[in-house]
């Protein structure tokens, strides 16, 4: 009798786990796409759809590799498809599902901001100055109109697309080479700038709040937010796409 009860209980748990997994949408994406689109729509979508979202910011390239390996159902990125696939091809990475990838644009171009700590007197930074700061040639705030203090650059290691966009806009395509403090997500970067008076960083403009200060700088050319699946989106993923493009659009940052 005990064995029979145990077997039945195990079967019920297995079925429950299967149902929970079926209702979950597993997403991996770049920090910008997760922060500005997926996370803002998550509460309302889960409430109305009956599905749950498990979204992890891992960088757009890593997200695409996870999708190709079947570890997630959805990858997101703040890139054009051409740029994202260009990175993969440049690094000679083979995708087994390359010809079967489907791309949906979720949102138009995103704007970005250069931020400093609120106590920093600097209000304007030129392209040349940003080039110097993020290559390490300019290392003191007094050289750009600020106080005599060392510059601390905060850089997100989960936002390669944003970092590449920054380098193209301000550094003639050269990679950011300054030694700085690494952050994970855009929110982590903002927290680090808010906590360090001599810091500087860059992130999605919609995430700027009173804890940091946006400075006047040349505009970074922004990118669309895209969603990728292997083959056509499943019914639950299509439901998420439809939600984002309709009711959910008001939640997008």
Residues 77 and 117 in one domain: no
Q: What is the mean pLDDT of residues 182-207?
A: 93
Report yes or no on 198 lying in a domain.
yes
Cβ neighbours of 183 (radius 10 Å): 22
Tokens representing residue 62 in the block:
């890593």
Report yes or no on 82 lying in a domain.
yes
Residues 102 and 7 in one domain: yes
Residues 10 and 100 in one domain: yes
Task: Please say if the pLDDT value at position 11 is more than 70.
Answer: no
Report yes or no on 22 lying in a domain.
yes
The pLDDT tens digits of the residues spanning 212-227 come to 999 999 988 777 899 9
Domain of residue 94 covers 2-107+225-251
pTM: 0.72
CATH of the domain at 35: 3.40.190.10
Residues 39 and 135 in one domain: no
Tokens representing residue 134 in the block:
């993020």
Residues 116 and 101 in one domain: no
According to the per-residue pLDDT averaged within each range, which of 25-34, 175-184, 231-240 is highest? 231-240
Distance CA 129, CA 149 (A): 16
The answer to whether the Cα torsion of 157, 52, 77, 253 is positive or negative is negative
Surface-to-core class of residue 170, CB atoms within 10 Å of its CB (0-12 exposed, 13-18 middle, 19+ buried): buried
Tokens representing residue 244 in the block:
């984002």
Name the DSSP class of 66. H
For residue 10, name the pLDDT band (cuts at 50, 70, 90): very low
Cβ neighbours of 186 (radius 10 Å): 26
Q: How many domains does the chain have?
A: 2
Distance CA 181, CA 193 (A): 10
């Amino acid at each position: 009798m005990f064995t029979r009860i145990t077997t039945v209980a195990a079967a019920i748990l297995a079925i429950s786990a299967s149902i929970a997994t079926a209702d979950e949408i597993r997403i991996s994406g770049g920090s910008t796409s997760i922060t500005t689109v997926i996370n803002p729509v998550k509460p309302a979508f889960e409430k109305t759809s009956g599905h749950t979202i498990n979204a992890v910011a891992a960088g757009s390239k890593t997200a695409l590799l996870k999708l190709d390996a079947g570890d997630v159902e959805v990858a997101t990125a703040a890139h054009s498809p051409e740029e994202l696939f260009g990175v993969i091809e440049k690094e000679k990475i083979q995708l087994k599902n390359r010809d079967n990838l489907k791309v949906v644009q979720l949102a138009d171009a995103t704007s970005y901001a250069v931020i400093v700590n609120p106590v920093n007197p600097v209000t304007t930074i030129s392209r040349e100055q940003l080039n110097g700061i993020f290559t390490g040639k300019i290392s003191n705030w007094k050289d750009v109109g600020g106080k005599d203090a060392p510059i601390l650059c905060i850089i997100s290691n989960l936002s390669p697309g944003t970092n590449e966009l920054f380098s193209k806009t301000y550094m003639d395509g050269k990679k950011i080479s300054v030694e700085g403090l690494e952050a994970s997500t855009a929110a982590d970067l903002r927290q680090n700038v808010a906590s360090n008076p001599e810091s500087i960083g860059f992130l999605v403009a919609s995430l700027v709040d009173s804890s940091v200060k946006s400075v006047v700088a040349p505009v970074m050319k922004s990118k669309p937010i895209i969603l990728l699946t292997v083959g056509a989106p499943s019914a639950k993923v299509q439901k998420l796409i439809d939600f984002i493009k309709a009711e959910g659009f008001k939640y997008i940052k």
